A = this chain, B = another copy of it.
């Protein structure tokens, strides 16, 4: 793992590890934290469900596990800051970790559906313009003012069957670093909405006013001073955009000439599918369609691969994904750059050295 910070703990796997499998092993799953990882006594833990519900609930872990059907969802989580490193050539982004393309991972999550828990509290109508707010106990000194982490999702998303209160990950009890005893899994939304160590769910008329949602996870205007940003500035990040990354070869890597295997991942926005990924080794003069691996569910990335026949020399590989609306990723990181470095969905590039073929 590439550790960006020890406290709060922020780390991502290497591209090589990430590319090995469609399901990401727990020990290779990125970890994004805003404060110290809390230690929670599972026997004493309670989940409060309140706000605009008929019957507020207070559930123990045993209640949650026994009163609700367990469901599995294979889903990708991705940090809003994934691929921020690609912005740094445009302009510096002080105070934020330079995530490579590894702030993303895919796991089999299991737990109760959020919609089932909301129904038990007497909310079964998704037609209202409401929000489901999540609170956690991890206090962040990075917030202004320091506060426990929280965020929300629209009720319309909360009522979808893919949104879980998960206590299992890849068939094992959820590890502490990933939110034990219970975390939210809100597929196709930035990871910041999949709140770890959740202890309260509130149905309310407004989105979360927590610092991290109201002020932090936003695409500010390029000219904005992030230290002066106030609640509501910029584009609030929730559902994510079409994105892709090249995992092999790695940047600055050397490969023998001949058939060079190029692999990576792509993720589509919610409701959409990745339908085409192209790779170019000649500055975009020609493009080669990559083969798309099978997706384990509609809520995951798709891994892709192709072989390019490359002569010796230095090359820049570039990739771009398309979804089923005909949306193509924007080309230049410069056009997407923003002061907090979110949403780098520009075409990924890797500069490689193609050596003489082995044995020649």
How many of these chains are in the complex?
2
CA distance A331 to B323 in the complex (A): 17
CA distance A345 to B331 in the complex (A): 13
In the complex, which of the residues B235, B287, B331 contacts A326, with contact meaning CB atoms closer than 8 Å? B235
CA distance A7 to B335 in the complex (A): 42
- Of A28-36, A50-58, A204-212, A267-275, the stretch lying at the interface with chain B is A267-275
Scoring A residues 304 to 333 as 1 if CB is less than 8 Å from chain B, else 0, what string do you get? Answer: 000000000000000010111111111110
In the complex, which of the residues B239, B323, B330 contacts A324, with contact meaning CB atoms closer than 8 Å? B239
- Do B221 and A289 have beta carbons less than 8 Å apart? yes
Name the CB-closest residue of B to A80: B326
Q: Chain B nearest CB: distance from A39 CB in Å?
A: 35
Q: Chain B nearest CB: distance from A218 CB in Å?
A: 9
Which residues of B lie under 8 Å from residue A284 when comparing CB positions? 335
- Do B322 and A275 have beta carbons less than 8 Å apart? no
CA distance A238 to B273 in the complex (A): 12
- Do B322 and A235 have beta carbons less than 8 Å apart? yes
In the complex, which of the residues B237, B269, B326, B328 contacts A237, with contact meaning CB atoms closer than 8 Å? B326
Name the CB-closest residue of B to A334: B284
A197 contacts partner chain B, Cβ-Cβ < 8 Å: no
Which residues of B lie under 8 Å from residue A237 when comparing CB positions? 325-326
Residue of A222, A328, A331 with most partner-chain B CB within 10 A? A328
Which A35-80 residues have a C-beta within 8 angstroms of B? none
CA distance A323 to B332 in the complex (A): 17
A336 contacts partner chain B, Cβ-Cβ < 8 Å: yes
A219 contacts partner chain B, Cβ-Cβ < 8 Å: yes
Interface size on A (CB < 8 Å)?
37
CA distance A336 to B287 in the complex (A): 12
- Do B241 and A325 have beta carbons less than 8 Å apart? yes
Q: Chain B nearest CB: distance from A73 CB in Å?
A: 17
In the complex, which of the residues B270, B271, B275, B329 contacts A235, with contact meaning CB atoms closer than 8 Å? B275
- Do B327 and A327 have beta carbons less than 8 Å apart? yes
Which residues of B lie under 8 Å from residue A271 when comparing CB positions? 270-271
- Do B331 and A332 have beta carbons less than 8 Å apart? yes
Name the CB-closest residue of B to A188: B325
- Do A345 and B327 have beta carbons less than 8 Å apart? yes
Which residues of B lie under 8 Å from residue A219 when comparing CB positions? 322, 326
CA distance A275 to B240 in the complex (A): 14
In the complex, which of the residues B236, B240, B327 contacts A242, with contact meaning CB atoms closer than 8 Å? B327
Which A228-281 residues have a C-beta within 8 angstroms of B? 235-242, 269-272, 275-276
Knowing that A239-B324, A240-B325 are A-B contacts, what are 8 other residue pairs whose CB atoms are under 8 Å apart, sorted by A's residue number? Answer: A219-B322, A219-B326, A236-B324, A239-B325, A240-B326, A269-B325, A270-B271, A328-B335
Q: Which 10 A-B pairs have the closest CB atoms?
A: A326-B343, A241-B325, A241-B327, A239-B325, A241-B326, A328-B330, A235-B275, A330-B330, A219-B326, A269-B325
Q: Give 7 pairs: A residue, B residue, CB < 8 Å, sorted on A.
A: A235-B324, A241-B326, A269-B325, A270-B271, A328-B345, A330-B330, A331-B335
